Structure 1
Amino acid sequence: MSKTVKLKKGFDIKLVGEAEKQLADFKPAKTFAIKPTDFIGMQRPKVTVNEGDTVKAGTPILFDKAMEKVQYCAPVSGEIVEIKRGDRRKLLEIKILADAYISYESFDKFSGDSLKSLSKNDAIEQMCKSGVWPQIIQRPFGIVANPEDTPKSIFISGFDSHPLAPDYGFLLQGEESNFQAGIDILSKLTSGKIHLNVNGESAIPSVFANAKGVELNKFSGPHPAGNVGVQIHHIDPINKGDIVWTINPYGVVQIGKLFLEGKYDASKLVAVTGSEAAKSGYVKTFLGACVDTMVSGNTKQDNIRVVSGNVLTGERINKDGYLGFYHQQITLLPEGDQYEFLGWMKPTSSRLSYHRALGLLSFLSPNKEYVLDTNTNGEERAFVQTGVFESVTPMDILPVYLLKAILAEDFDEMEELGIYEVVEEDLALCEFVDVSKHPVQEIVRKGIDLIQYS
């Protein structure tokens, strides 16, 4: 039965620089990269290509020796121009110089009755060898799902409440048939329900409203209402021993295209956002695109930070860096390396703060959009027991006590306090409002790793 969930806890970070709902005329990227660092939990990556090799979109270029069945494939056709390694030969990037016209590996096509009669094992085999399987993420732990497991349910968040997040209705225009085919395939992978969760405060995009075979739930409230972990918590909570799979709508569409068209189509729309973007909008490119064409000549100043993803959970990259595997936006922000006299004590209404602190008057203008830099405005210190973490976490957990249990490596306490229900993004807002300046997301990942590998 569909549910309507209204959340009160949380906080919307309203920033200047939302992407205009139109295609921007940026030059196409020339190089693309797959970064093993995007796949949390990848233990022993093995490269299957060499520099100078030519590949097609859908050609396997990488796999994890711990789960060899799942292949990571080239998003475009072209030449492998660099296999970049770091300290101790850690694999960082596999770069591809793209062809002018993309050619694709061929996979089996299905439609109508043949799609319905396709077996679970055959569906999994095609997904694993074609490159779409890594779109499926397992909870707990937030890692690429194991195709040998069977989840109790599958969750899809149909909206993103992070700052400056792209609009899914715009991203998925015209993808109704591909999305439905993706849902039909996913339904073969679980005996439970597929939960499609949408924003209850706005019109439901047609790609979601017309979907069949899903339970449509509505969520409303401030961020993190769009986080799939929060949605799981309120619909079908995870207990020790449970497995739930999650996938974003882009991944569902990609699965649908694989089975309907017989190819690994890694094309996507990416939102160019942020206060320092001279021109915002959406650009059509491919997964793992180099962002240089979106950044070069498109900044209001030179001293900026480029983030692949959103400002809370995204990854800092160079101006010629590469879009993350799971990211659908880049954000351009002022670099926070300049300091103000009196800092946070200086009376101002131009700086956003969750706290009604002396001098920070942003609470008087709740709908104002702000230009924020990356300065943390403080340094790490002891945890302050203010209750503020709980006020921005719409889950029945105690974040401060959970974080302390992780730091103390107390396994029993971590389990009792909800470590199985969270990943980094679920407590990212705590890091933003933390007056003690702790790396909350790093601590959460440390706790997950302790539980997973103990």
Structure 2
Amino acid sequence: MEFRFRKGRDIDLGLAPASTPVVLRAVRSVGLVARDFPGVSFDLRVGEGDLVRRGQVLCVDRLHPDIAFVAGAAGRISQTRHGARRRIEGIEIATEGDEESQFSVEPARTDDAALRALLLRSGAWVAFRSRPFGRVPAPADRPSAIFVTATDTNPLAPVPAVVLAPKLDSFRRGAEVLQRLTDGPVFICQAPGPPLAEPGERLRVARFSGPHPAGLAGTHIHHLWPVSSQRSVWQIGYQDVAAIGDLLAVGRITAERTLSVAGPGVSEPALVRAPLGSDLRDLLGEKRSDKDTSATRLISGSILSGREARFLGRQDLQVTVLKKREEAVPARALLWGLLARLPRAAIGATLPSEGFERVFPLDLLPTPLMRALAVGDVETTERLGGLELLEEDLALLSWRCPSGSDYGALLRHVLDGLDEERAA
């Protein structure tokens, strides 16, 4: 299967790291952030000052205690951050040593229940996101299909084929394993070229090309296996699939990912290998003290859908580095200000619907959907296909709209409300 899109928009922010050598980064701290997991309430299993191994359980989901969130690096718990009603918002680890957890994998190689248990207790399960709603799937869920996102059209993103080249055996092993989690197909969604995995009856390869968002899971799911309130799918990134393959082979988690560190704030883009949840400041490879005030602003993820943060987001495979302005401005205003040099509507102008349709390659009506989101019309949002989408799918519409509205945030509000309503 091959899909070629003309609708969309490629954002040029300069050079992206292509096939440059991967640089290993030692980081001083890693973090686990609750915001990366909508709908999850952390229940702590460690306390401040505790020493933890890489792969050790830090907390579990209060509603589904089988879902474990594990340490991305060995070290000492330096801080647990609480929000309203003492809700845990984050856990910080000061890296120390190289102790790691070992998992028994032999039963999981043949038994499906043991496989699920292994993925749950090793933390690999939280790499999955379900649609609709974008939640970590419940332990007993069985999707109608699984999508592996092995292409990326985000500005400055790493090239998946380059990253996977030394890990193809692990990736293929992981892709085979995914078939045991669903009765439906597993789609490997990649750029044009040789298949990253051998196609089979239920393991299918689909090639996507064209401007962004041709590389997003939402685009793939919409055209191959649309979801609804009655049909759910899971999505997972290509490096997480390779990590599952490694886990089944050696019984240890692969907590490192290969990331792109690029943008107007760096002189040379780089591919960096670092732990999940790394402190973004350490990924720049610059000497610093805790009192340093950097001349850059760091975005975890793409400039289109990422956010200014201290720690790398769980689903993010890039760090966008921006030059810091002297005056204090909100991160979102800085992002849109940087993009203002690109062709877009004048602030305050009314765009015809064709302007949105040119950057939206899904067979949905963008203008009515945006209006429904803007006024919080849940029923109309669902009727217009909003359940198919997650925040990143609307990033180009937010960029293109002169109102300055963040339609991804508006969508998240609607999805959370719908999910809570159906769970009640």
1:177 Cα offset (Å): 2.0
Letter in 2 for 1:271: S
User: Aligned in 2, Cα 1:26/1:152: closer, same or farther, shift over 3 Å?
Assistant: closer
Asked if structure 2 preserves the Cα contact closer than 8 Å seen for 1:17 and 1:275, the reply is: no
Answer yes or no: is 1:215 the counterpart of 2:212.
no
Q: Contact (CA 8 Å) 2:349, 2:402: kept in 1 or not?
A: no
Cα 1:153/1:74, change in 2 over 3 Å: same
Percent identity over the alignment? 28
* Contact 1:57 1:74 (C-alpha < 8 Å) held by counterparts: yes
Alignment correspondent of 1:255: 244
1:381-409 deviation digits (Å, cap 9, x = unpaired): 69654432222111111122123223444
1:234 aligned onto 2:223: yes
Give a deviation string over 1:185-217, Cα, whole Å, max 9, x none. 2111111000111112xx34x7x1546662011
2:68 paired with 1:78: no
2:408 equivalent in structure 1: 441
Quick one: distance in 2 between partners of 1:230 and 1:163? 16
Residue in 1 aligned with 2:331? Answer: none
Q: 1:292 aligns with which of 277, 281, 286?
A: 281
Shift of the 194–60 alpha-carbon distance from structure 1 to 2, 3 Å rule, reads same
**Could you say what secondary structure the match of 2:80 adopts?**
strand
Classify 1:297/1:52 alpha carbon distance in 2 versus 1 (closer, same or farther; 3 Å): closer
Amino acid at match of 1:248: G
C-alpha change, 1:66 and 1:308, in structure 2 (3 Å) is same
User: Of 46, 49, 52, which aligns to 2:46?
Assistant: 49
CA–CA separation in structure 2 for the residues paired with 1:393 and 1:34: 33
Partner of 2:140: 148
Q: 1:385 and 1:74 mapped to 2: Cα distance? A: 48
Choose which of 352, 377, 380 in structure 2 pairs with 1:413: 380
Q: Report the Cα distance in structure 1 between the residues aligned to 2:324 and 2:95, rounded to whole angstroms.
A: 31
Matched, 1:430 2:419: no
The alpha-carbon deviation at position 279 of structure 1 amounts to: 3.1
Residue identity in the other structure for 1:236: W
Q: Which has the higher helix share?
A: 2
1:96-142 alpha-carbon deviations (Å, 9 max, x no partner)? 12224x222111134xxx765x2221110111011100001101111
Alpha-carbon contact 2:353-2:367 (below 8 Å) kept: no
Tell me the SS of whatever aligns to 1:450.
Answer: helix
1:165-314 equivalent positions in 2, closer than 5 A: 165-200=157-192, 203-204=193-194, 208-210=196-198, 214-295=203-284, 297=286, 303-314=295-306
Deviation at residue 351 of structure 1 after TM alignment: 2.2
In 2, Cα distance between the equivalents of 1:142 and 1:197?
19
1:119 equivalent in alignment to 2:111: yes
Q: For the structure 1 residues 296 and 5, does the alpha-carbon distance in structure 2 shift closer, same or farther, using more than 3 Å as the test? A: closer
Residue 261 of structure 1 aligns with an amino acid whose one-letter code is V
Cα distance in 1 for residues equivalent to 2:344 and 2:191: 23
Structure 2 CA distance for partners of 1:33 and 1:399, relative to 1, 3 Å? same
Q: Distance between the aligned counterparts of 2:5 and 2:30, measured in 1? A: 39
Q: CA RMSD in A?
A: 2.5
Of 124, 129, 138, 1:137 maps to: 129
CA distance in 2, matches of 1:190, 1:451: 25
2:20 alignment partner, one of 19, 22, 43: 22
Structure number with bigger Rg: 1
Distance in 2 (alpha carbons) for counterparts of 1:16 and 1:144: 34
Q: CA offset at residue 427 of structure 1?
A: 1.0
Query: CA–CA distance in 1 between the matches of 2:165 and 2:303?
Result: 25
Normalization by structure 2: what TM-score? 0.89
TM-score by length of 1: 0.83
CA distance in 2: counterparts of 1:155 and 1:86, whole angstroms:
34
- Structure 2 distance, partners of 1:449, 1:382, is 31
CA contact (8 A) 2:108 2:115 kept: no
Higher mean Cα deviation, 281-290 or 19-28? Answer: 19-28
Contact kept in structure 1, 2:274 and 2:283, CA below 8 Å: no
**Equivalent residue number for residue 9 of structure 2:** 11
Which of 83, 90, 94 is matched with 1:93 structurally? 90
